[in-house]
Amino acid sequence: MAEIETFPDAASLARAAANQWVALAEASMARHGQFSVALSGGSTPRALYSLLAASEFAARVDWSRLHVFWGDERCVPPDDPESNYRMARQALLDHAPIPLSNVHRIPCEQGPRQAAAAYEQTLHAWFSGGSAGRRVESDLPRFDLILLGMGEDGHTASLFPGAAALGERTRWVVAYKVVTLGAWRVTLTPLVINAAAHVMFLVSGANKAEKLRQVLTGPYRPDELPAQIVRPTRGHLVWWVDAAAASALAGA
Ligand code: 6PG
């Protein structure tokens, strides 16, 4: 059974996740001098990001040694309301003392495939850059933390049901047109997600409850339930959920 942390509501979930972020950042910086985190998009993490920008949390983080990446991005300009970068910038990055050079966004304005190639180069450069804290293990970038959400269809990052990216065996980042959305996305592949030291799913709301039950307790079928493909090879996966999202789980 997966490791699940359940909280009464979205606000207490966000607060607990913010405390965990700070704890992981402190531990990573103590261990290897930096903290690399890939942010998730959508709406759920906004409350977490806003909390992290608040002084009670921001003051506990050495932002000069914290590097922000993204797990996925919509192929829109960085100032587009759909942009995951824009959401994180508005909720967190514009309010925390993080150096611009520590923010490594996916450059979707270059076009999907070019953005994926450029972002993969960014990961290669940063994770094998030789300085403390930049780590590549078994030739894969090892994020200290990857934040993930889960859609109502069981997707995570931009790994949607039926996506060829679910079976990607060499590339770290791919771009493809999501049929159900009729839109292009850029996403980390399962290879990179499963190389992370820590993976935190943040799932909130009754609308996710049935899919969460299928993902956590049903048969393993990641092509239909992409969130199931997240099984860190040498990392720690925890599902951080509120009571509404957990309401279909046994014993809820
Ligand atoms: C994105 C996200 C995606 C998100 C889920 C859940 O770009 O949309 O990265 O994987 O986490 O769709 O989104 P909500 O938090 O809005 O439900």
Strand partners, 237: 199
| Residue 180 burial class via C-beta count within 10 angstroms: exposed 0-12, middle 13-18, buried 19 and up | exposed
Torsion, Cα of 248, 40, 18, 193 (10° steps): 90
| 189 close to 173: Cβ distance less than 8 angstroms | yes
Rounded to the nearest angstrom, the distance between the alpha carbon of 74 and the centre of ligand 1 is 10
Rounded to the nearest angstrom, the distance between the alpha carbon of 205 and the centre of ligand 1 is 13
C-alpha 23 chain-centroid distance: 17
Residue 160 and residue 152: Cα distance in Å, rounded? 11
Pocket residue to mutate for ligand 1, from 39, 43, 44, most atoms within 8 A of Cβ? 44
pTM listed for this prediction: 0.97
Residue whose tokens read 């850059």: 129
Write out the E strands in the chain. 4-7, 35-39, 66-70, 72-74, 136-137, 140-141, 145-148, 173-178, 183-188, 198-203, 236-242
Q: Report, as ranges of residue numbers, the positions in the chain whose pLDDT lies below 50.
A: 132
Pocket residue to mutate for ligand 1, from 150, 176, 208, 211, most atoms within 8 A of Cβ? 150
Pocket residue to mutate for ligand 1, from 74, 85, 156, most atoms within 8 A of Cβ? 156
| 175 close to 75: Cβ distance less than 8 angstroms | yes
Say if strands 66-70 and 35-39 run parallel, antiparallel, or are unpaired.
Answer: parallel
Q: How many residues does the chain have?
A: 252
pLDDT digits (tens, 9 = 90+) for 54-72: 999 999 999 999 999 999 9
Token couple for 162:
């039926």
Rounded to the nearest angstrom, the distance between the alpha carbon of 81 and the centre of ligand 1 is 14
What atom in ligand 1 is closest to the CA of residue 185? Answer: 7
Q: Which positions ≥6 away from 219 have C-beta within 8 Å? A: none
Rounded to the nearest angstrom, the distance between the alpha carbon of 159 and the centre of ligand 1 is 10
* Ligand 1 proximal residues by C-beta, below 6 Å: 40-44, 71-72, 74, 84, 149-151, 155-158
Predicted local confidence at residue 132, as pLDDT: 47
Rounded to the nearest angstrom, the distance between the alpha carbon of 40 and the centre of ligand 1 is 7
**Percent of the chain whose predicted confidence (pLDDT) is above 90:** 93
Task: Look at residues 19, 72, 5 and name the one whose alpha carbon lies nearest to residue 41.
Answer: 72
Residue 195 and residue 12: Cα distance in Å, rounded? 29
